[in-house]
Structure 1
Amino acid sequence: MRIAMVSEHASPLAAPGGVDAGGQNVYVARLTEELARRGHDVTVYTRRDSLDLPDRVPLPGGAHVEHVPAGPAETVPKDGLFPHMPTFGAHLARAWSAERPDVVHAHFWMSGMAAQIGAGPLGIPLVQTFHALGTVKRRHQGEKDTSPPERVGIERQTGRTCARVLATCTDEVVELGELGVPPSQVSVVPCGVDTARFTPAADTGRTPPRQYRHRLLACGRLVPRKGYDQAVRALEQIPDTELLIAGGPPADDIPADPEARRLLKLAARVGVAERVRLLGAVDPHDMPALLRSADVVLCTPVYEPFGIVPLEAMACGVPVLATDVGGHRDSVADRVTGRLVTPQDPGAIADAARELLADEALRRRYGDAGRARVLQHYTWARVADGVEQVYGLTRADHELSLSGEVA
């Protein structure tokens, strides 16, 4: 099958952890790699953000990344890319006129917009994964939401008119229903994790030396919605414990980062500054070892469309303490692989953390159960199985509709 992936701001070549580089980058990269290994012809279309980038770059397994000229060839915050999507879509239309894909899979709402421009006139079926919905972001961020005002309307239009929406969690199906997308048009396939890389077994990765009896670890983009401030506030009630936060700019640039400064000021104000360490961007090679070095991995966002960090932690056999939001409700089994707590409640985080830290046997049991859960539901092979089924269903429905038009 010839598959076109569209991921306008999240290149599979980017290192996760930056402001606009996170789970979507990992999802597109790993899914593409797995599909290519199965013999599919996969091309990922992402925006050119540097003049130094080649037009096409090979990926492991035989897929390729194509850099699309749309807007300036420099880094642009994703919320500033909207005006360049018509140019992006026009490029796709030209490319697909010359070499038509069997199915297009768009990632994020702006990719959906560009993909419809490219695929619509050619009659190519479009599968849409939003990864995050503007309605949810607006609900939680209010006036701080920097998304273009057109976002929700385009998401509504894309969701209703594409061939199928591929959601990553059951919570998203409800949100899509509020946009008028019927559940019958939505398939749920979760994100995955590399279980050969993220394992309970020790490796050669580097980890910071432990300075207190217990270690809590939080990972991801250094942005307010990730809720690291809630973890810092909770730490005040968790004695003899350090909190490491991995993600954001390189370590040398942490002092200049606005969110880092906010968190460090908060830590000083609540009296835990000496127990909070911001690591900045961590070498991907070191991430499994860093996760294993923690007694508990914290995932405390205000909202989370899916969340890959819980899967990585569970794959490493480490219990997860997560907020009861979004994709966490699917991936983290409360009191089986970890704990789910009310969002924006430092007291609840502290209570659950103290319970876990006080019982090593409980942590080990949760960790073992987490690894088993990941192997059963969240390997990239299982994810690719589900995505292939969605593609097959989409193509069959499309061919059926064409035969009906001919009849």
Structure 2
Amino acid sequence: MPDTAVDAYERLLLTVARGGKPFDMPPLPSRGGLLVVQSMLLGEIDSPGEGSSGGLGVLLAGLGDALARTRGIDAVITLVMKDARDLPEEPTLLRGRGAGHWTLSLPSDPHDGAALGAGGPGRSALSWWTSTLVGGLGRHPDLVHVRYADDGSLAIAEAARALGARLIFTATPDPHRRISERHAGRTITGRAETEELRHDLHRVFTADMLIARADEVIGIPGRGGTAELIRYFPQLALARGGQGPSAPPEGITAYLPADDEALRQKRLLEGLFASGLPSAIDPAARALPLLLTVGRLHPLKQQHILVRAWIESGLHLRSTLVVVGGSARSEGRGPAEHDVREAIADLIAAHPQSAARLAMVPAMPNSEIRCLERALAHSGITGRALYVCPSSKEEFGIAVLEAMDAGLPVAATDRGGIPHYVQDMVNGVLLDTSSPRTLAEGLERLLASEPEMIDAMARRARATVRARYSIDVAAAGFASIYTGQPDPTAAAHSSS
């Protein structure tokens, strides 16, 4: 067969068609345990806060490492997407992350204009690449775990069935909750609203399909356990002999200070007041309380609502605000990020005096974020620093846990999973983020608290994370589901 490939993607296709291996696979550990595959198809696993990358990538990077060292698990493969236009001449699809943990890149077809969304050829191609590449590992997976209700997860589910692997699906109340709240009693009048409803209905369809196909469905713990999940998926009430679906807690990796930790902290702190930022804080405002929020720039994360609340309540006269997230390059910004940036720019233009107290910082590696949070919590170089999560909802909130672990007092949305571990005015403040007014009222409540009370909340927050939400505790919980063995940490969870 002549080599007629015109790019790296076609070369990969030819390699597979000729029966060749598109990557070198080191021998997988074989200790009688499971080979686990987990998918992370949104954004880049090592670029949280940029594009569509977020807490899921941080979670799965650490969880994969921890699972690989957990009893009953031999190895973990994390599936990620790779834009074929970014493939080098000799692409390395398989990369080792740690002992027993690899990422496997699934290439997208640059010649296929169909996006994953309506079950078109994009989904079929992703399913084929998954079954082909995972099937070439030298050992078929025992289970595949998907965590998002979209066509990408459906494609992975189809591949899991072809490979004979068990399918685990993490279900959340969205998109059903979104449908009931956003469209109830609403008259659809325009094309944009029609497309929005169609998209939401399609995600409801994919969630229902994934639940029907999954060998086991698990939830994310919320204020009422999994009660809200069962409300939208009543069939799950029968799981585990009528107990409902399990909901193992997620967790964060322990922070390891660098050898030059003090210098790194100083550099990151000084950077908040550097004129080289798109916007920076006036050094004269260093002594004011500082509000920090971290995450990808997206309407659901509501950074623009936070800025509006901060300005309209007058908080900008008494505090500074640091927003970390988004791409440093304009060409790397999608429509969602563009909308948030535009909304913030309009607010600043209407209130120019606030510009000197707002810093917009591009996304940073997770290790830098956690270093900055520790610097803010303990430096004394700035005024009291507080972490804010203004999202419309968070299913769990990895970034909130990291801020709590760093010693920052936190104020976070009361929607989703955060109330499972944040108790209002005990180890943090729960915010009503449904409007700028209610968001500002919650922030005022925290800022008006006595310093001793804020210190006590921050200490309790750190203790909560370290007792219950380490990545090793999370790995033990997931491994118990994967292997069917009791969770050795379950008693500790129930007593904490």
TM range (shorter): 0.7 to 0.9
Q: Which residue of 295, 303, 306 maps to 1:231?
A: 306
Identify the residue that residue 482 of structure 2 maps to in structure 1.
Answer: 391
Query: Which has the larger Rg?
Result: 2
1:343 aligns with 2:395: no
Distance 2:202 2:135 in 1: 26
Identify the residue that residue 108 of structure 1 maps to in structure 2.
Answer: 148
Identify the residue that residue 26 of structure 1 maps to in structure 2.
Answer: 58
- After alignment, is 153-162 or 141-150 more displaced? 141-150
* Contact 1:36-1:61 within 8 A present in 2 as well: yes
* Contact 1:70-1:85 within 8 A present in 2 as well: no
> For residue 341 of structure 2, what is the amino acid of its counterpart?
A
| Cα deviation digits, residues 309-365 of structure 1 (max 9, x gap) | 210110011111112100122132211111112222333333332343342222211
Runs of 4+ in 1 over 6 A off after TM superposition: 73-78, 251-256
Identify the residue that residue 378 of structure 1 maps to in structure 2.
Answer: 469
Q: 1:148 to 1:136 in 2, by over 3 A?
A: closer
* Contact 2:293-2:389 within 8 A present in 1 as well: yes
* Contact 2:168-2:214 within 8 A present in 1 as well: yes
Q: Any residues of structure 2 matched to 1:5-404 within 5 Å, and which?
A: 5-12=38-45, 14-38=46-70, 40-49=74-83, 50-52=86-88, 53-72=91-110, 83-94=121-132, 95-96=134-135, 99-109=139-149, 110-130=151-171, 133-138=174-179, 143=193, 144=196, 147=199, 149-170=201-222, 173=226, 174-185=228-239, 186-197=245-256, 203=262, 204-205=264-265, 206-207=268-269, 208-209=272-273, 211-212=285-286, 213-236=288-311, 237=313, 238=315, 239-250=317-328, 257-270=338-351, 272-292=354-374, 293=376, 295-358=385-448, 359-393=450-484
Q: 1:330 to 1:34 in 2, by over 3 A?
A: same
- After alignment, is 168-177 or 274-283 more displaced? 168-177
> Could you tell me how far 1:223 is from its partner in structure 2?
0.8
SS of the residue aligned with 1:325?
coil
Over the residues paired in the alignment, what is the CA RMSD in angstroms? 3.2
* Contact 1:242-1:275 within 8 A present in 2 as well: yes
Distance 1:181 1:47 in 2: 32
Identify the residue that residue 399 of structure 1 maps to in structure 2.
Answer: none
> For residue 249 of structure 1, what is the amino acid of its counterpart?
S
> Could you tell me how far 1:25 is from its partner in structure 2?
1.0
* Contact 2:179-2:200 within 8 A present in 1 as well: no
SS of the residue aligned with 1:272?
helix
| Cα deviation digits, residues 365-406 of structure 1 (max 9, x gap) | 1110000000111110110011001112299xxxxxxxxxxx
> For residue 227 of structure 1, what is the amino acid of its counterpart?
Q
> For residue 143 of structure 2, what is the amino acid of its counterpart?
V
Distance 1:389 1:31 in 2: 14
> For residue 362 of structure 2, what is the amino acid of its counterpart?
G
> For residue 291 of structure 2, what is the amino acid of its counterpart?
L
> Could you tell me how far 1:303 is from its partner in structure 2?
2.0
Q: 1:351 to 1:107 in 2, by over 3 A?
A: closer
> Could you tell me how far 1:43 is from its partner in structure 2?
1.3
Distance 2:65 2:113 in 1: 25
Distance 2:163 2:371 in 1: 48
> Could you tell me how far 1:252 is from its partner in structure 2?
7.4
- After alignment, is 105-114 or 299-308 more displaced? 105-114
Structure 1: gaps (5+ residues): 396-407
Q: 1:341 to 1:84 in 2, by over 3 A?
A: same
Distance 2:37 2:456 in 1: 42
> Could you tell me how far 1:176 is from its partner in structure 2?
4.9
> For residue 55 of structure 2, what is the amino acid of its counterpart?
G
> Could you tell me how far 1:122 is from its partner in structure 2?
4.5
Q: 1:214 to 1:309 in 2, by over 3 A?
A: same
| Cα deviation digits, residues 120-169 of structure 1 (max 9, x gap) | 24542111125683224445666357847532112112113311123222
Q: 1:19 to 1:146 in 2, by over 3 A?
A: farther
Structure 2: gaps (5+ residues): 1-33, 184-192, 240-244, 274-282, 377-383, 487-496
> For residue 162 of structure 1, what is the amino acid of its counterpart?
A
* Contact 1:159-1:181 within 8 A present in 2 as well: no
Distance 1:335 1:153 in 2: 39
Distance 1:27 1:131 in 2: 16
> Could you tell me how far 1:231 is from its partner in structure 2?
1.7
* Contact 1:244-1:278 within 8 A present in 2 as well: yes
| Cα deviation digits, residues 7-55 of structure 1 (max 9, x gap) | 333453x311122100111121111111123362111222221313412
Q: 1:165 to 1:338 in 2, by over 3 A?
A: same
Identify the residue that residue 405 of structure 1 maps to in structure 2.
Answer: none
Distance 2:332 2:156 in 1: 36
What TM-score, normalized to structure 2?
A: 0.71
Distance 2:131 2:367 in 1: 38
Identify the residue that residue 404 of structure 1 maps to in structure 2.
Answer: none
